[in-house]
Amino acid sequence: QKEVEQNSGPLSVPEGAIASLNCTYSDRVSQSFFWYRQYSGKSPELIMSIYSNGDKEDGRFTAQLNKASQYVSLLIRDSQPSDSATYLCAVRTGFQKLVFGTGTRLLVSP
């Protein structure tokens, strides 16, 4: 069974701090990795995609991928209360299917 694991949280950080979200995956041949944000009752909204080992930065967000360790992370700098949501790690395994983790709930306090 190809799994994606995330700590369910909640992860609580104060406003302005760095939030660090982690994800591990079991399928070593996975090629594409995604972070989605999901507000309660809403659909997943893409934050970042990453395909190669290393870091990828987009504004306040940095995704990090380490294929050898089967680990992908998301850093959110200068966290804002509006960043409070569940962050879903998704891995493309096989042809097209995305396998999602259970998500990490992030709470940013003012």
Residue 106 near another protein by CB under 8 A: no
Stretch that binds another protein, among 13-21, 22-30, 57-65, 94-102 (CB under 8 A): 94-102
> Six-digit token pair at 39?
């507000």
Identify the residue among 42, 59, 66, 80 touching another protein (CB under 8 A): 42
Cis peptide before 110 (omega within 30 of 0): no
- CA angle at residue 89 from 7 to 82, to 5 degrees? 85
Binding-site size, another protein (CB under 8 A): 24
Stretch that binds another protein, among 10-18, 53-61, 74-82, 84-92 (CB under 8 A): 84-92
4-5 vs 19-25, strand pairing mode: antiparallel
Residue 61 near another protein by CB under 8 A: no
> Six-digit token pair at 4?
């994606």
CA distances 9 to 53, 55, 67, Å, are 26, 24, 24
Binding site for another protein (CB under 8 A): 31-32, 34, 36, 42-46, 49, 51, 88, 90, 92, 94-103
